[in-house]
Chain A
Amino acid sequence: DAKTTQPNSMESNEEEPVHLPCNHSTISGTDYIHWYRQLPSQGPEYVIHGLTSNVNNRMASLAIAEDRKSSTLILHRATLRDAAVYYCILRDSGGSNYKLTFGKGTLLTVNP
Chain B
Amino acid sequence: DTGVSQDPRHKITKRGQNVTFRCDPISEHNRLYWYRQTLGQGPEFLTYFQNEAQLEKSRLLSDRFSAERPKGSFSTLEIQRTEQGDSAMYLCASSTTGFDYTFGSGTRLTVV
Contacts and interface: CB of A to CB of B under 8 A. Distances in A.
Contact of B101 (A46, A85, A93, A103): A46
Nearest to A93: B98
Interface stretch (A14-22, A23-31, A37-45): A37-45
Contacts of B98: 91, 93, 98
Interface in A82-104: 85, 87, 91, 93, 97-104
A100 B97 CA distance: 13
A98 B48 CA distance: 9
B66 to A, nearest CB: 19
Size band of the interface chain B makes with A: 20 to 34
A49 interface: yes
B1 to A, nearest CB: 16
Contact of A43 (B41, B44, B93): B93
A85 B7 CA distance: 24
A100 B101 contact: yes
A45 B103 contact: yes
Interface string A42-72: 1111100100000000000000000000000
Nearest to A103: B42
Given A97-B56, A98-B95, A99-B56, A105 B105 contact: no
B104 A43 contact: yes
Given A43-B104, A43-B105, A102 B93 contact: no
B74 interface: no
15 contacts: A42-B105, A43-B4, A44-B43, A44-B103, A45-B103, A46-B101, A46-B102, A87-B42, A91-B98, A98-B98, A98-B101, A99-B33, A102-B35, A102-B42, A103-B42
Interface of A: 36, 41-46, 49, 85, 87, 91, 93, 97-105
Interface of B: 4, 31, 33, 35, 40-45, 48, 50, 55-56, 91, 93, 95, 97-106
